[in-house]
Chain A
Amino acid sequence: MSERVLAEQISQELLLAYYKKVLELRLFELKVQELYRNGRLPGFVHLYVGEEAVAVGVCSNLQTADLVFSTHRGHGHALAKGVPAGVVLAELWGKATGSSGGRGGSMHMYAPEYGFMGTNGIVGAPIPLATGAALSAKVRKHSQVVVCFFGDGAVNSGSFHEAVNLGSVWDLPVVYVCENNLYATEMAFVRATKNTSVASRAAAYGMLGVEVDGQDVVAVHEVAQAAIQRARGDGGPTLIECKTYRYVGHHEGDPGTDYRTREEVQQWKKQDPVKLARQRLLDSGMDENKLQTADQQVEQLIDDAVEFAEKSPEPSAASVTEHVF
């Protein structure tokens, strides 16, 4: 077997793995949407539908010991970092088996055992936290890399400015990943700032900034790979801007149609990350049957997650005061 054929096979294997993960994130969120709309889940959820290639493209470069800090739109980041779907869903259900035992919910789920340092209810807040975690890795002389996800809504906050500046001046092993989905809740990015290139802001902090098509899992993977390798090699942080889009409203309950046009949503759906990843596999010569098998495996995984979460016990009411300190 020639080296070239081997490389293509590995590449197809990886492509299949990316595709399955992207699909898992998509089907997971659609299931959450369904459960939420049927009144099964308490609280509030912000869905990641349309942005899946970012989480998968970045996290496919990470090891378990690496740390991820996420946002209010963070289910996809948790899944991509390796937290089992059942554990994530159980948390959304407020169950004892959830990643926070039902004490956190969608915006406060933590799974340090998978290097997942939390979703977050406060926009911008994870950026200083991730910077500090990278400082910790550096002073412990650990090879950990820290990845911080945030949206375009975070980059006009003081948290972004102060933390990215510290990450740069201290040469920390952190990768700042902006998921620019063009809207902070309903606020269009073009109305929020004169400089709509997030990547260009890196220059203000003396660090490298890169822009990438956030709908293409392979493109994201490659850009993130370089940034993560640089961070691991003590080369300092990188700011990556992933151009992406959410198909759904800001949160479940927001139709997402008051501040953007249906045409714009349809336009973005043409560059759907699931379809793109699937097309790459077809282009690589994978046959449709094999893809259907993969689809069924992912569907089964989601069904199993629902069964696990649904059958899981509620936390004991008497435990309400545990773990405060």
Chain B
Amino acid sequence: MSEQGRVITYADAGVEALREEMRRDDSIVYIGQGIGPRGGNFRQTRGLWKEFGDERLRDTGICELGATGAAIGAAMAGTRTVIDEVFLDFALEAITQIVQQAANISYMSNGKIKAPVVIRGAMGAVRNAGAHHSHTFYNWFANTPGLKVALPATPYDLKGLFKTALRDPGPVALIEHKSLYNTKSVVPEEDYLIPFGDARIVREGKDLTIVAMSRMVDLAAKAATVLAQEGISAEVIDPRTIVPLDRTKITNSIRKTGRLVVIDESPSYCSFAGELLAIAVEDCFDELQATPRRICSLPVPNPFSPVLENQMIPSVDRIVREVHEVMKQVRRVS
């Protein structure tokens, strides 16, 4: 896929994906709060209500549990749905429906019932929103058999992954990042899909592999630029979907570089970053030149103070500093 197109925002790329898919598939119904005339809290449905109206863009009151369950039930009955939780934090109100019903239904019904529902929500820290509006618990979803999990890091990836999610037979958690909505990249005007389980090599390198997701991809790329000036060649990989995971591309890179650093906005304990370290040990043990490392948010609720929150979340400086430590390590093989 060539990257010819216009420069548009992450929010608009999501809108474009939805518009194209809702035109293509008139069974798609979109449910959420403020997603109709208002166009979404993050402008993530701007303009769609004018074209598709109340029938297909269903604003609800504040009832995530009922609305998410309804989106799942509609999907089970043959209507493709999107449930927009707006803030991923609010999906907690509906977690039983997502985990117990949507994720389990294909298996429990022996494959007879599918729930093609996209569970959409924006995660992560933005503008010091505090503990209730900043969670990044996508790893919970990844730990639930039956759910696919996509984490678009760029406008280009959001459009392609969203469109793939809207054609998937089962439930997909499409988790955006709140601080990415105004970021821009080149996005083709035409129809394109990004297959799930296809990682993106953001930058090629030979000295170490950095894997990062969502907003952390940008930080990893910036750190790689700094490191390059110091003569350290970092390969940056964005898995784009963590279920399914492109294990091959990631392990090939680790085998090539012998070093792995994972950047994750979630806390490290029982995290997806931990899973990647386990994969490195399981698949690449003999090739590892240094102890794989996680650079994660500190295990605290998101603080309000900018000083405290900046301390909590990985930064370019911290990534560069810790990569230096990893590069100093030399494994002695007896």
The interface of chain A, by Cβ under 8 A from chain B, is: 67, 69, 99-101, 103-104, 108, 110-113, 117-118, 120-122, 125, 127-133, 135-137, 139-140, 144, 146, 158-159, 161-163, 165-166, 170, 322-325
- A112 near B68 with CB under 8 A, answer no
- Interface residues as binary, B85-129 with A (CB distance below 8 Å gives 1, 0 otherwise): 000000000001100110011111111110000000000000000
Q: Which of B73-81, B159-167, B267-275, B324-332 is near enough to bind chain A?
A: B73-81
Knowing A104-B109, A165-B63 are in contact, say whether A135-B170 is a contact too (CB < 8 A): no
- A325 near B73 with CB under 8 A, answer no
Q: Which of B8-16, B53-61, B256-264 is near enough to bind chain A?
A: B53-61
User: How far, in whole Å, are A195 and B29 apart by their CA atoms in the complex?
Assistant: 36
User: How far, in whole Å, are A110 and B27 apart by their CA atoms in the complex?
Assistant: 23
23 residue pairs A–B, Cβ–Cβ below 8 Å: A103-B109, A108-B104, A108-B109, A112-B113, A125-B100, A125-B101, A129-B72, A129-B76, A129-B97, A131-B66, A132-B76, A133-B77, A136-B74, A139-B74, A159-B65, A161-B66, A162-B65, A162-B66, A162-B69, A166-B66, A166-B70, A324-B107, A325-B148
Knowing A129-B73, A162-B66 are in contact, say whether A112-B109 is a contact too (CB < 8 A): yes
- A132 near B78 with CB under 8 A, answer no
- A140 near B78 with CB under 8 A, answer yes
Given contacts A69-B73, A125-B100, A163-B66, 6 further A-B contacts (CB under 8 A): A125-B69, A129-B69, A132-B77, A161-B66, A165-B61, A165-B66
- How far is the CB of B305 from the nearest CB of chain A, in Å? 34
User: How far, in whole Å, are A133 and B145 apart by their CA atoms in the complex?
Assistant: 23
- B108 near A108 with CB under 8 A, answer yes
- A131 near B69 with CB under 8 A, answer yes
- How far is the CB of B146 from the nearest CB of chain A, in Å? 5
B213 on the interface (CB 8 Å rule)? no
User: How far, in whole Å, are A251 and B110 apart by their CA atoms in the complex?
Assistant: 25
A/B pair count, beta carbons within 8 Å: 146
Most buried by B among A112, A129, A146: A129
Kindly list chain B residues whose C-beta atoms are within 8 Å of the C-beta of A136. 29, 73-75, 77-79
User: How far, in whole Å, are A144 and B79 apart by their CA atoms in the complex?
Assistant: 13
Chain A residue at minimum C-beta to C-beta distance from B102: A129
- B77 near A137 with CB under 8 A, answer yes
B199 on the interface (CB 8 Å rule)? no
- A125 near B97 with CB under 8 A, answer yes
Chain A residue at minimum C-beta to C-beta distance from B29: A139
- How far is the CB of B221 from the nearest CB of chain A, in Å? 31
Kindly list chain A residues whose C-beta atoms are within 8 Å of the C-beta of B17. none
- A117 near B107 with CB under 8 A, answer no
- How far is the CB of A149 from the nearest CB of chain B, in Å? 14
B250 on the interface (CB 8 Å rule)? no
- How far is the CB of A300 from the nearest CB of chain B, in Å? 28
Most buried by A among B71, B108, B146: B108
- B96 near A103 with CB under 8 A, answer no
- How far is the CB of A122 from the nearest CB of chain B, in Å? 5
Q: Which listed residue, A132, A140, A324, touches B72 by the CB 8 Å rule?
A: A132
Q: Which listed residue, B97, B110, B146, touches A104 by the CB 8 Å rule?
A: B110
User: How far, in whole Å, are A125 and B99 apart by their CA atoms in the complex?
Assistant: 12
- A122 near B100 with CB under 8 A, answer yes
User: How far, in whole Å, are A123 and B201 apart by their CA atoms in the complex?
Assistant: 46
- Interface residues as binary, B284-322 with A (CB distance below 8 Å gives 1, 0 otherwise): 000000000000000000000000000000000000000
Q: Which listed residue, B29, B71, B112, touches A113 by the CB 8 Å rule?
A: B112
Kindly list chain B residues whose C-beta atoms are within 8 Å of the C-beta of A162. 63, 65-67, 69
- A127 near B69 with CB under 8 A, answer yes
- A140 near B27 with CB under 8 A, answer yes
B5 on the interface (CB 8 Å rule)? no
Chain A residue at minimum C-beta to C-beta distance from B110: A101
B195 on the interface (CB 8 Å rule)? no
Chain A residue at minimum C-beta to C-beta distance from B171: A325
User: How far, in whole Å, are A267 and B113 apart by their CA atoms in the complex?
Assistant: 42
User: How far, in whole Å, are A112 and B71 apart by their CA atoms in the complex?
Assistant: 18
